[in-house]
Amino acid sequence: MTQIRDHYLTAAAAAAELLAAPEVAAAWQEPSALAKLSVQGLAGHLAGQVFFVPQVLDGPEPTEETISIHEYYARASWIGSDLDDEFNQGIRTKGEKDAADGPAALAAEVATTVRGLRAVLPGVPSRSVRRSGWGPWSLSLDDFVASRLLEIAVHSDDLAYSVGVPTPALPAEAAEIVVDLLSRIAIRRHGATSVLRGLSRSERAPASISAL
């Protein structure tokens, strides 16, 4: 099994535990830390980062060009987009729908999916995958898994903060992968000097170097 798949499975298992936390169920109908997204919707969106992997594996191997993960983020029109644009509205709607059966059902489905992925993902040969909403390109499976690792890391923190529990800790190497991806996205959005100052010189740092 590639190292990135192992890191992803570790993060996915931690997300499953977080989704099963009683604090998540207690705050289910409350607003989350993210604007216009309830705890239910955020939980559904986090769960989606687990559901997406078996979904792309079930699809045919794409014929579209395979691009790198860094090019994928360079092409991602949703980065920095308005909260009310069509893509972000769709994210909120799908998150609510995926979690419509309640916190216990969602947590159980995620836990079952993680167990299935532990049995299957390590042995999947290298291949490309794609989702229907992308442009005419695909990603290698390991790059797609890395992108889901980033999503799980970010949204686990969002959900944990929303309900007042500690953010699940990532293994050091997994955290480094996520931070590297976010740093590269931030450089494209804000420029290298702004990111350099944001990380090293608080007295002249810009107001934000947010990657997403």
CATH class of 3-168: mainly alpha
Tokens read off for 26? 């207690």
Distances from the Cα of 210 to the Cα of 146, 159, 186, 190, angstroms: 19, 18, 6, 8
- pLDDT value at residue 85: 86
**Extents of the domains making up the chain:** 3-168
Tens digit of each residue's pLDDT (9 = 90 or more) over 71-101: 999 998 888 888 888 888 988 999 999 999 9
The residue ranges of the chain whose pLDDT is under 50 are: none
* pTM of the shown model: 0.95
What is the reported pLDDT for 13?
98
Q: What pLDDT, on a 0 to 100 scale, did the predictor assign at position 1?
A: 57
pLDDT for the residue numbered 31? 97
pLDDT of residue 77: 82
Using CA of residue 86, residue 81, residue 158, residue 70, what is the dihedral sign? positive
Q: At a CB cut-off of 8 Å and minimum separation 6, what does 63 contact?
A: none
Phi, psi (rounded to 5 degrees) for 162: -60, -35
